[in-house]
Structure 1
Amino acid sequence: MHSLPRLARHFLTVALLCLCAGAALAQPTGKAAKGRKRYAFAQKDEESPYVKNVTKNTEEEQDVDGSFTRVGYRTYTEMVAELTHLKKLHDWADTTYQRRVGAVPPGGVLVVTIHRQGPKNADLGNLTITATDKTGKEVFTHTPPAGTGRFFGRDLYQAKAVIPFPSMAPQELNVSIRDAKLYQTFDYTLEIPAAQ
């Protein structure tokens, strides 16, 4: 029985070691490796009554790892009421008012705000936003356009996106935001209200 020549065995050993080392380098570290902590019961968001945080995501944590991510939801009715108030305040012409109301998405909007360390990390293009219904069926997915954030304070930068949301029946959705740069996923529950 012939064994592999010494050079071939050496080559296979080096190739195997490189493969293992590459796999080890590709693994996320820190909080990303462990996964983010989750609340036992979803917590209502302070700013948006329709959103509950499933993943622990506080402003204190942003000082540690720059991973603050917030989702808000504004309904069509809220946005039209705000425009009606602004029309009275600024004495807009009817055509201006109608044009602005016509631009409001019928399903409302998601407002995504992130705080990251460094301007390049505050890139909304790193995010993938996915909404699924109770059965797990995907009903919405979106990746915002790339761009850097604005200085927020210390070494934190903020980026914000207002994303039109499709019109749908009142229901509870699971919203997931995956940050490809942080290797982290932030989970939320979104309650779509009945039209008012």
Structure 2
Amino acid sequence: MPIFPRLIRNFLTIGVFTLLAGTVLAQPTGKAAKGRSRYTFAQKDAVSPYVKNVTKNTDEEQDVDGSFTRIGYRSYTDILTEIEALRKLKDWADTTYQRRVAAIPPGGALLVTIHRQGPKNADLSNLTLTVTDKDGKEVLAQTLAPGAGRFFGRDLYQAQRALPFPKMEAQELNVSIRDAKLYQTFDYILTLPAAQ
């Protein structure tokens, strides 16, 4: 058998094995490879009455792998009620009150909170938020702006971001937050209240 075709075949074999080995090494390992465990039925969130957790995202899970992601929703009415209460407490001038009311997003605000191990892992730019309706139509898609977290306790760091939400009719929306660094996706159901 001539040496040239054998040499080409050996190079191709080595190239294929190298490519396969690189693919295997690039795959996430541990809990990230399996993904987050999911509830059989979506669980109501303890903090936000409009949110239900689809993926298991508890303090116990945080103790295991150091990753905790929570969303909360505040409607326009909720934010306005808070501003009116603060106006009474702080004796704001009319201009301050009007400026605060004008800054309220018409659809309310979505609050994203994460806890991560180490300050570099608490960077919000690792997160991509996608909101879809029941038909699968994308309502909102956003990669969060960079922002470092602050020390939360033990080796955990917390970062938060409030995102303005578009004004919509009362409905259920699916919210998915993908963490590019952890290779994990956190899923939620957001129930928008009727406009008041």
TM-score range, shorter chain: over 0.9
The offset of 1:63, in angstroms, is: 1.5
Q: 1:147 deviation in Å?
A: 2.3
Tell me the residue number matched to 2:185: 185
Residue of structure 1 in register with 2:76 after alignment? 76
CA distance in 1, matches of 2:94, 2:147: 35
Shift of 1:188: 0.2
Q: What's the TM-score, normalizing by structure 1? A: 0.96
Distance in 1 (CA, whole Å) between partners of 2:171 and 2:80 is 21
- Determine the structure 2 residue equivalent to 1:31: 31
Aligned pair count? 196
SS at match of 1:193: coil
Q: Distance in 1 between matches of 2:2 and 2:169?
A: 71
Moved more, 1-10 or 26-35: 1-10
SS in structure 2 of the partner of residue 5 of structure 1: helix
CA shift, 1:55, in A, is 0.3
The CA deviation at 1:3 is 7.0
- Following superposition, the deviation at residue 7 of structure 1 comes to 2.9
Identity across the alignment (%):
72
**1:139 equivalent in structure 2:** 139
Give the gaps of 5 or more residues in structure 2.
Answer: none
Equivalent residue of 1:20, what SS? Answer: helix
**How far apart are the structure 2 equivalents of 1:101 and 1:4?**
78
Corresponding position of 1:122: 122
TM-score computed with the length of structure 2 as normaliser: 0.96
Residue in structure 2 matched with residue 89 of structure 1 by the alignment: 89
Match of 1:182, SS? coil
Q: CA deviation at 1:2?
A: 5.7
1:63 corresponds to which residue?
63
Residue 108 of structure 2 corresponds to 108
Q: Distance in 1 between matches of 2:2 and 2:170?
A: 72
1:65-87 Cα shifts (integer Å, max 9, x gaps): 11100000000001011111111
Tell me the equivalent position of 1:8.
Answer: 8
Equivalent AA in structure 1 for residue 53 of structure 2: N
Matches of 2:7 and 2:156 in 1, distance apart?
52
Unaligned runs of 5+ in 1: none
1:168 is aligned to: 168
Give me the whole-angstrom Cα distance separating, in 1, the residues matched to 2:37 and 2:154: 25
Q: CA deviation at 1:10?
A: 2.5
Shift of 1:187: 0.4
Q: Which amino acid aligns with 1:77?
A: T
* Amino acid paired to 2:39: Y
CA shift for structure 1 position 6: 3.6
Corresponding residue for residue 54 of structure 2: 54
Q: CA deviation at 1:36?
A: 1.1
Q: Secondary structure at the match of 1:121?
A: helix
Provide the rounded CA distance (Å) in 2 between the counterparts of 1:2 and 1:165: 69
